[in-house]
Chain A
Amino acid sequence: MTTTSQDLERTKQRNQLSQARLLGLVNRVRELGLLVVLLLIILIVGIQAPRFLSIDNFEQILLSIAILVIVAVGETLVVLTRNVDLSVGSMVGLTAFVTAYFFKQLPGINLLLGILLGCALGLVLGMINGLIVSFGRVPAIVATLGTLYVYRGLVFVFAANTTSQINASDVPGGYLALATTQILGIPSLILIATVIAVIVGYFLHASPTGRQLYAVGSNPDAATIIGIRRDWLVFAAFAASGLLCGLAGVLWGARFGTVDATNATGLELAVIAAVVVGGVNIFGGSGTILGVVLGAMVLGTLQNALNILNISQFWLQALYGAAILGAVVLDAFITRWLKRYILSRRKKV
C-alpha cells in the first residue's frame, strides 16, 4: 500500500463518515422534531397568554409529567425488546394504594421503609410479568392485558378488605412531603424523575447490557445466535418496568394524598403515547430516553396549554390520539423518504 492510496482511502472514509453522520442525524430527526414542536407550542401559546411563559407554569408542566416520565422510562425498556407492558397503570395503582395504606397503618414508620415496600412490590409484579412472557412464552400483549386486569382486581380486593379510600389526612406528613419538598428550589418529584431518566438513559447508552436490549429488539434471532441471553434480558426489562412503576406508585400516593382503588386507571394510554410520540419504535430496536422525555413534555405542554387558553380539557384525549397518529404516520413517511434517499445515493456510486 503506497502512501498516496492510503491517503485516498482516508479521504474516502472521511467523506463516508460525514455521510454517515448525516444519516445518523436523520435518526435524530425525532428528537429535533419534538424540540421544534415544543418550541412552536410555547411560541404560539405564549403569544396568546404570556403567563404561559412563566417559570411557575413551566414548573407546573414538569410536575404534571414527572410521574408519567418515570413510568414511561420503564415502558421504554420493555418496548425496546419488541414487547409491550399494558399493566403499568394497574401496577402504579396497586403500589400507590398499598404504600399509602402502609403509611396510614404505621404512621411512625421510617419513610425509607415505606418507599422500599412500594418499590419491592412493583418489582415483584414486574417479575411476574417477565416470567409469564419470557419463560411462559405468552405474547406480551396477552400477558400484560391479563395482568392489567389481575393487578387492578387485586387493588379492589385489597381495598375491599381494608379501606375504600385513604385520605391525605390519614398519612404522615413526611410521606406527603416527598412530593412537595424542594431541593435547591426544584420540586423533588421533578428531581427524582430527572435522575431516573438520566440514569436509565445513560445505562442504555453506556452499558453493554443496555446495548444488548437494542439488539434483542432489532433482530431477536441474530441476538440469540451470537449468544445474547434474550430470555433473561426480557425478564429484566419487565422487572425494571415493575420496579419503576412501584416507585411511581409511591410518589403518586405522596402527590395526590387521596388514594382509592381506581388510581392510575388508564395511565397506560398516556405512557404509550409518550413512548410512541417520543420516537421509540413499537417493534423494538430503536428509541431514546431523551425522545421519550421530550414526548412526555410535548404532551404535558399541550395539556397545560389547553388549561391556560381556557380550551376545555375535553380536547385533551383527542389531541393525544392525534399526536400518536401523527407520530406514526410521520415515521412511515420519513422511513420511506430515507429509503429513497439511500437508494439514490447508492446509484451514484
Chain B
Amino acid sequence: MTNPPEPIVELSMIAKQFGGVQALRGVDLKLLPGEVHALVGENGAGKSTLVKILAGIHRPDAGVMKVGGEVVELRSPIQAQALGIAVVQQEPMMFPDLDVAENVFMGRHPRDRFGRVEWKRMYQEVDQLLASLDVSLSSHTPVQGLSVAEQQLVEIAKALSLQARVLVLDEPTAALSSHEVDELFAIVKQLRERRVAILFVSHRLEEVFTLADRLTVFRDGTHIITAPVSEMTTEAIIKYMVGRELSNLYPKSEAKIGEVVLEVRHLTRPGVFADVSFQLRRGEILGFAGLVGAGRTEVARVLFGIDQAESGETWLKGKQVRIRSPQQAMEYGIAYVPEDRHQQGLVMNFSIASNITLAILQLVSRLGLLDPRREQKIASEYSSQLRVRSSGVGQVVSALSGGNQQKVVLGKWLATNPSVLILDEPTRGIDVGAKAEVHRIISELAASGLAIILISSELPEVLAMADRVLVLHEGRITGTFPRSEATQERVMFAATGQER
C-alpha cells in the first residue's frame, strides 16, 4: 500500500454541551478520502451532535476542526457546504412544491449569458447525475411525491453536484426498505470510488459490516475506539457500544405479576406493522425493543386510538374493544406518554399544573368551571411524588430541564389513573441522574399494579427494566424473551432481522 492519504476532515477534542447535558466529551475523528467510515453508538452517544457540528449547524464548545489540512471555524451550513461537506439528514430538508432538479440546484441555478435559468441544461445535468448513480429517478419528478429514500438520493445528487469531498449520512437506512438500502449502498460504493470521504452514522451493525472500511464507536459522548472493520466482530462492537455498569442505573423492584389486562391479536396496519400479538399483565413491564422505524411507536399509536389498525383484535380486561380516538383510549384506562415531549407531550407555554391537569380537566372542574384549588392539589401531589424540581407548579414548563419535563408528562398521564401505561422513549434526551429517577418511578408504578409497555431504543434500559422483551423488526415481532433469557446479543440480533 502507498502512503496513507491525508484526512479531509480532522476533528480533535471536540466537546459540546446542551443545557447541562454533556453531549460530546472531547472526541476525535478522522475522515479519509475514498473511505467509508462508520460512526456507531447508541441513542444519546453523541452521534447526531457530531453530525450537526460537521454540518455547521452547531459550534463546538472546545476542540479543533481541520478541513483539507487547514483549521476552520464553521459558522453556518453555507460555509460547510462551501468547504465541500455535504450532510444528508435523517429527514432531508426539501422544497416540496418544486421538482428534483430545482431541489438540487436551488440557489445556484445554471444560467445562460443573459442570466436566465437554463432549464434544459439543469434537467440534463441532474439526469446525468442520477444516471451516474444508477438511480432511475427523473429530474422532472415533483419532490412532493418522493419517498424518504428517494429524497435522500436527491440530497446525494445535490452533494455530488456541489463537488462534495465529504458526505455524511445520518442514519440513512432508518426509513428504508431492504431493497432501497441495497440501492443506497451501491451508490455509496460508487462515491467511495470517486474518492469521496463518507461518514456513515448508524447503529445497524450488519450494514456497518457490509459497507464500512473503518469504524468509530462513541458511548456517552466519549470516543471509545476506532479500528478497521475487518478487525472487529459484532460481539466486540456491541460490547464497546454498551459496556457500562448497569446495576446502579436501573433500580428494579420485583413486582407481583397478575392477570392479563391487555391482549392484542394479529394487529395489522398494512405498510406499517403486521401480525402483532402479545399479552400484557398487571404489574408487568413489557419492553418493546427494536431499531428506529421498526414499528413500535406505530403499534402504540394504534393502541391509543390515534391511528386505526386494519385488522386484528384488541382485548381489554377480557372484553373486546375498538379504540377509535384518544378519548376512548383514556376511557378504557390506556395512557400514552409520547416520544416527542415537545411536539406531542407538553404545551410548552403552559405551567406545570396546567400540563398535569390537561388530560383530566373534567376531574378538576365543577359544573364545567375549573377549580384552581383542586388543580393545585393534584398538580402538587404528582409533582412531589415524581420529585419534579421547579419553583412551583405554576412555573412554565419550558423553563424546566428535560428530565423534569418528562416527569411532568408522566404526572399528566398518571393523573388519569390508567391501568395500562405506554411509555415511548421515556428517557430520551435526559441526563443520567434524571434517568435513574424515571426508572425508579417506572419500577414503582409496576409494583403498584400498573401494566406497562416500555418502548425504548436503549438496549440496557430495556434489558434492565423489562420483565419480558418483545423485539420488532420492520413491523413484525422477531423475538420474545423473558427477563432471564434476554441478553444484549440476542435482542440485537432479533432487532436487526436475524432470527436464531
CB pair A13–B136 under 8 Å, yes or no, is yes
CB pair B106–A211 under 8 Å, yes or no, is yes
Cβ-neighbour of A9 out of B78, B107, B131, B142 (below 8 A): B131
Complex CA gap A230/B145 in Å reads 26
CB pair B142–A221 under 8 Å, yes or no, is no
User: Which residue of A is nearest B180, CB measured?
Assistant: A349
CB pair B130–A13 under 8 Å, yes or no, is yes
> Which of the four size classes fits the interface of chain B?
20 to 34
Tell me the minimal C-beta distance from A284 to chain B in angstroms: 8
CB pair B98–A226 under 8 Å, yes or no, is no
Complex CA gap A218/B97 in Å reads 6
Say if the beta carbon of B278 comes within 8 Å of chain A: no
CB pair A219–B145 under 8 Å, yes or no, is no
Kindly name the residue among B115, B137, B138 whose own CB sees the greatest number of chain A CB atoms within 10 A.
Answer: B138
CB pair A225–B93 under 8 Å, yes or no, is yes
A272-300 residues with Cβ-Cβ distance < 8 A to B are 281, 285-286
Complex CA gap A232/B448 in Å reads 60
Complex CA gap A347/B137 in Å reads 16
Stretch at the interface among A18-26, A33-41, A239-247, A312-320: A18-26
0/1 string, A1-32, CB within 8 A of B gives 1: 10000000110110111011101100100000
CB pair A13–B127 under 8 Å, yes or no, is yes
Tell me the minimal C-beta distance from B281 to chain A in angstroms: 38
CB pair A19–B138 under 8 Å, yes or no, is yes
Complex CA gap A223/B106 in Å reads 8
CB pair B116–A206 under 8 Å, yes or no, is yes
Complex CA gap A226/B56 in Å reads 12
Say if the beta carbon of B109 comes within 8 Å of chain A: yes
Contact A222 B93, CB 8 Å, known A20-B141, A211-B102, A211-B117: yes
Complex CA gap A27/B99 in Å reads 11
Complex CA gap A26/B186 in Å reads 33
CB pair A214–B95 under 8 Å, yes or no, is yes
Say if the beta carbon of A208 comes within 8 Å of chain B: yes
Residues of chain A within 8 A (CB-CB) of B99 are 20, 24
Tell me the minimal C-beta distance from A278 to chain B in angstroms: 15
CB pair B106–A212 under 8 Å, yes or no, is yes
CB pair A207–B116 under 8 Å, yes or no, is yes
Tell me the minimal C-beta distance from B108 to chain A in angstroms: 8
Complex CA gap A206/B98 in Å reads 14
Say if the beta carbon of A348 comes within 8 Å of chain B: no
User: Which residue of B is nearest A21, CB measured?
Assistant: B140
CB pair A16–B117 under 8 Å, yes or no, is no
Residues of chain A within 8 A (CB-CB) of B109 are 208, 211
Cβ-neighbour of A208 out of B94, B117, B136, B141 (below 8 A): B117
Kindly name the residue among B78, B131, B137, B145 whose own CB sees the greatest number of chain A CB atoms within 10 A.
Answer: B145
A314-349 residues with Cβ-Cβ distance < 8 A to B are 338, 342, 345-347
Residues of chain B within 8 A (CB-CB) of A281 are 97
CB pair A218–B95 under 8 Å, yes or no, is yes
User: Which residue of A is nearest B143, CB measured?
Assistant: A218
Complex CA gap A223/B78 in Å reads 11
Cβ-neighbour of B107 out of A23, A221, A228 (below 8 A): A228
Say if the beta carbon of A227 comes within 8 Å of chain B: yes
CB pair B93–A24 under 8 Å, yes or no, is no
Cβ-neighbour of A227 out of B107, B131, B145 (below 8 A): B107
Say if the beta carbon of B26 comes within 8 Å of chain A: no
CB pair B136–A9 under 8 Å, yes or no, is yes
0/1 string, A66-88, CB within 8 A of B gives 1: 00000000000000000000000
Complex CA gap A20/B148 in Å reads 17
CB pair A17–B138 under 8 Å, yes or no, is yes
Residues of chain B within 8 A (CB-CB) of A9 are 131, 134, 136
Complex CA gap A15/B106 in Å reads 25
Residues of chain B within 8 A (CB-CB) of A143 are none
CB pair A208–B111 under 8 Å, yes or no, is yes
Say if the beta carbon of A215 comes within 8 Å of chain B: yes
Residues of chain A within 8 A (CB-CB) of B117 are 205-208, 211
Complex CA gap A225/B52 in Å reads 13
CB pair A338–B145 under 8 Å, yes or no, is yes
CB pair B136–A23 under 8 Å, yes or no, is no
CB pair B97–A16 under 8 Å, yes or no, is no
Complex CA gap A125/B372 in Å reads 50
CB pair B145–A23 under 8 Å, yes or no, is yes
CB pair B98–A218 under 8 Å, yes or no, is yes
Tell me the minimal C-beta distance from A226 to chain B in angstroms: 5
Complex CA gap A218/B96 in Å reads 6
Tell me the minimal C-beta distance from A321 to chain B in angstroms: 27
CB pair B141–A23 under 8 Å, yes or no, is yes
Residues of chain B within 8 A (CB-CB) of A218 are 95-98
Tell me the minimal C-beta distance from B135 to chain A in angstroms: 8
Complex CA gap A345/B130 in Å reads 20
CB pair A219–B138 under 8 Å, yes or no, is no
CB pair A17–B98 under 8 Å, yes or no, is no
CB pair A20–B107 under 8 Å, yes or no, is no
Cβ-neighbour of A20 out of B97, B106, B116, B140 (below 8 A): B140
Contact A285 B95, CB 8 Å, known A212-B106, A228-B107: yes
Cβ-neighbour of B141 out of A16, A228, A286 (below 8 A): A16
CB pair B116–A285 under 8 Å, yes or no, is no
B87-137 residues with Cβ-Cβ distance < 8 A to A are 93-99, 102, 106-107, 109, 111, 115-117, 127, 130-131, 134, 136-137
Contact A215 B106, CB 8 Å, known A9-B131, A9-B134: yes
Complex CA gap A281/B98 in Å reads 13
Residues of chain A within 8 A (CB-CB) of B137 are 13, 16
Residues of chain A within 8 A (CB-CB) of B498 are none
If A205-B117, A226-B107 are given as contacts, then 14 extra A-B residue pairs at C-beta distance below 8 Å, sorted by A number, are A1-B134, A13-B127, A16-B138, A20-B138, A23-B142, A24-B99, A212-B106, A215-B98, A215-B107, A217-B97, A219-B95, A227-B78, A342-B144, A342-B145
22 pairs from A and B in contact (CB 8 Å cutoff) = A9-B136, A13-B130, A16-B136, A20-B138, A24-B99, A24-B140, A24-B141, A27-B142, A205-B117, A207-B115, A207-B117, A208-B115, A211-B98, A211-B102, A215-B106, A215-B107, A217-B97, A221-B93, A223-B106, A227-B107, A285-B95, A342-B144
Give chain B's interface residues, CB within 8 Å of chain A.
Answer: 77-78, 81, 93-99, 102, 106-107, 109, 111, 115-117, 127, 130-131, 134, 136-138, 140-142, 144-145, 147, 271
In the A-B complex, the 5 residue pairs with the smallest Cβ-Cβ separation, listed nearest first, are A285-B97, A12-B136, A20-B141, A222-B93, A16-B138
